Amino acid sequence: MTVNALAPAARVLQRNLWVYRRTWRGSILGSFLTPLLYLTAMGVGVGSLVTAAGSPAFEGYEFVHFLGPGILAATCMQSAVFESTFPVLGKISWRRNYEAMLATPLGVPHLLAGELLWVGFRVLTISAVFLAVMTLFGIPRYPLALLAIPAAILTGLAFSASVIAFAATQRTGEGFSWLFRFVINPLFLFSGTFFPLSQLPDAVEWAAALTPLYHGVALVRGTVLAEQAFLGPWPLHVAYLVAFGAVGAFLAHRLLKRRLLS
Amino acid sequence: MPPGDEVLVHARALTKRFGDFTAVDAVDFDVRTGEAFGFLGPNGAGKTSTMRMIACSSPISDGELSVIGMDPRSQAPRIKSRIGVVPQIDNLDAELTVRENLLMYARYFDIAGEIAGRRADELLDFVQLGERAGDQVEPLSGGMKRRLTIARSLINDPELVILDEPTTGLDPQARHLVWERLYRLKQRGATLIITTHYMDEAEQLCDRLVVMDKAKIVAEGSPRDLIQRYSTREVLEIRVSDAVRATLNGRLEDVAERVEELPDRLLLYVGDGEQALEAVHDRQVPLESALVRRATLEDVFLRLTGRTLIE
Ligand SMILES: Nc1ncnc2c1ncn2[C@@H]1O[C@H](COP(=O)(O)OP(=O)(O)OP(=O)(O)O)[C@@H](O)[C@H]1O
Ligand SMILES: [Mg+2]
């Protein structure tokens, strides 16, 4: 994507920001509540039952410390995926926003890049608020913890691109219910979000390690806690997410083009 | 402004296929600068498919097309920056207000904020929506949405405006308001391409038009030309009972140049309608009703295709 293409893409982002101007308060409030509820209920409540501080199961961390960054990554995935489903299909088919945009000098690559910028912005706000709430619980270790934000954005974009590709093939929203039920929710549970994958049989652990959320969780947890044991081979995680996102973006571009320029 | 001789849109053997289906079959036409050019045809004739190719939102399958001297295949963004498009189905941004719709569209064309604001206000006045500037789009009436879409299509001050059925679904009053605005637009020098399946719309607005049917262009000319070429000056429309109709077999042929039998009435194509009506009375054909009118494009279409425009 050249700088040339970025300016028109920024206009597509701007359109979403204009709409966001009306709804941002509720949206930010929601971004506060999610971590607050999770960390209180699961972290402190359940956590006090499952582990004493310094339990070996969580590499010497309390459960709430282990859990917080995992939920951060998973929540960002969820929001990024959601933004790439109904809102995108709506713009393709019910509301025809893309048709209107394509009657201007904008092209399909700009639409795609603009939506990805928007998802990046959403994940930025969600992860920043999440990090702030975790700070109340004394979880993040700064300054490295700040890198959790780009890590979360990378995770969100990797998912977003491939889900936009999927959305470009849909006629109704039915496919999205399937996507959430059979892909996103299992990923949420089995990507090392709530417990270390070493608890699972080897085969399952390997399968989980092939999913993008696993790598996102590793990056976010490793940076938030500034803990090499969680971070693991970080260039590998980054490379995996970049590759996953690039394939997704390639497909999304092709499929959107096929759908929108018939 | 009189239509110039410069050709703004030039199409030769222009073709659009969807899989095995041919929606536009090797059509030729030239739209000249400053004129209002119409595509008149029934549902499914291929009007929208043709418009979308001109507007660079649908790749052409075959043939030649140039728009403002450029090739849609390689210069789509440059063409799109100089044309305005009113699509058949409104695609306004339901999540923005009336004025924001124009401002945002201006942003898509990379028109700076200050100029965009001024143009948006001018255009809202032009389509008489100034008072609704801050409202949401959804509650607007069909006619208002249409006018807003027209205003939006003008935000980049286009040389060519493509309007796909600008008044379909509007009540007569709303239609006349749109027509009047389009007429003014043309006065200001814009070139218009209009599709419609209303013959009165075509007659009112178009300097020249093509009649499209089943993916092909079947005739071309000014409304007057076409009527002269394919119809008589007047038409006598008569209704008779089924019993009477059964006994007619050709009794009226010599009254008219041509007789069209429609399910509900007979059309007699004649030079002088009143005279023809007398002749029918002389033959003692009992009529349920009779009407003399001037020939219209509807008659041209009927002549060319054997069908009425709106079934
Ligand atoms: N994307 C598409 N895929 C397949 N067929 C299409 C597509 N778009 C249009 N068609 C078909 O092409 C033919 C011409 O359609 P088009 O929309 O150009 O007609 P039209 O003259 O604009 O009709 P109307 O007055 O109903 O708007 C129709 O038979 C239509 O079903
Ligand atoms: Mg149409």
Query: pLDDT tens digit string along B248-269?
Result: 877 888 888 999 888 889 999 9
Q: What is the pLDDT of residue A54?
A: 58
CB-based contact B95 A19, cutoff 8 Å: yes
Mean pLDDT, range B83-105, rounded to an integer: 96
Atom of ligand 1 at shortest distance to CA of B51? 18
What are the CA-CA distances from residue B136 to residues A140, B87, B118, B141 (Å)? 43, 20, 20, 12
CB-based contact B107 A100, cutoff 8 Å: no
- Bridge-based pairing state of the strands B289-294 and B234-239: antiparallel
| Interacting residues of B19 by C-beta distance below 8 A, sequence separation 6+ | none
> The tokens of B101 are what?
């719709």
Rounded distance from Cα B45 to ligand 1 centre (Å): 7
Atom of ligand 1 at shortest distance to CA of B19? 4
> Could you give the dihedral angle defined by the CA atoms of residues A26, A31, A32 and A37, in that order, rounded to the nearest 10 degrees?
110
**Ligand 1 near B59 CB (within 6 A):** no
- Bridge-based pairing state of the strands B216-221 and B234-239: unpaired
pLDDT tens digit sequence for A169-206: 999 999 999 999 999 999 888 888 888 887 778 888 88
Asked if residues B153 and B85 have their Cβ atoms less than 8 Å apart, the reply is yes
* Phi, psi for A61 (deg, rounded to 5): -105, 155
pLDDT tens digit sequence for A222-261: 999 988 888 888 999 999 999 999 999 999 999 999 999 9
Q: What is the pLDDT of residue B247?
A: 84
Q: Is the pLDDT of residue A93 over 50?
A: yes
Rounded Cα–Cα distance for residues A241 and A152 (Å): 11
Q: Is the pLDDT of residue A51 over 70?
A: no
Q: Whose CA is nearest to atom 7 of ligand 1?
A: B18
pLDDT band at B200 (very low <50, low <70, confident <90, very high): confident
Domain region containing A89: 3-261
Rounded Cα–Cα distance for residues B71 and B176 (Å): 35
DSSP letters, B54-107, are: HTTSS---EEEEEETTB-TTT-HHHHHTTEEEE-SS----TTSBHHHHHHHHHH
E strand or H helix that includes residue B148: helix B142-153
Mean pLDDT, range A58-79, rounded to an integer: 90
The answer, yes or no, to whether the previous bond of B77 is cis (omega within 30 of 0) is no
Rounded Cα–Cα distance for residues B127 and B178 (Å): 8
What are the CA-CA distances from residue A70 to residues A57, A148, B178, B206, B259 (Å)? 15, 11, 58, 65, 81
Asked if residues B133 and B99 have their Cβ atoms less than 8 Å apart, the reply is yes
CB-based contact B93 A15, cutoff 8 Å: yes
Q: Could you say which DSSP state residue B34 is in? A: T
Q: Whose CA is nearest to atom 6 of ligand 1?
A: B18
Q: What is the pLDDT of residue B198?
A: 87
pLDDT tens digit sequence for B19-28: 999 999 999 9
pLDDT band at A3 (very low <50, low <70, confident <90, very high): low
Residue A29 CA, chain-centre distance (Å), reads 18
> Could you give the dihedral angle defined by the CA atoms of residues A50, A51, A52 and A53, in that order, rounded to the nearest 10 degrees?
-140
Rounded Cα–Cα distance for residues B111 and A191 (Å): 46
Residue from B15, B16, B48, B195 whose mutation best tests the ligand 1 pocket (most atoms within 8 A of CB): B48
Across all residues in chain B, what is the average pLDDT?
Answer: 92
Whether the CA torsion B254, B257, B262, B266 is positive or negative: it is negative
CB-based contact A100 B92, cutoff 8 Å: yes
Contact list in A for residue B23 (CB cut-off 8 A) is none
For chain A, the domain total comes to: 1
- As to burial, measured by CB atoms within 10 angstroms (0-12 exposed, 13-18 middle, 19+ buried), residue A18 is middle
| Interacting residues of A136 by C-beta distance below 8 A, sequence separation 6+ | none
The ipTM of this complex is 0.91
Q: Is the pLDDT of residue B188 over 80?
A: yes
* Residue percentage of chain A with pLDDT more than 90: 70
CB-based contact A105 B80, cutoff 8 Å: yes
**Ligand 1 near B47 CB (within 6 A):** yes
Q: For chain B, which domains are there?
A: 7-222 (3.40.50.300), 232-295 (3.30.70.980)
At A188, the amino acid letter reads F
Residue to test with chain A: of B95, B137, B148, B157, most A Cβ within 10 A: B95
pLDDT band at B112 (very low <50, low <70, confident <90, very high): confident
Q: What is the pLDDT of residue B250?
A: 77
Contact list in B for residue A261 (CB cut-off 8 A) is 57-59
Interchain CB contact of B141 with A (< 8 Å): no
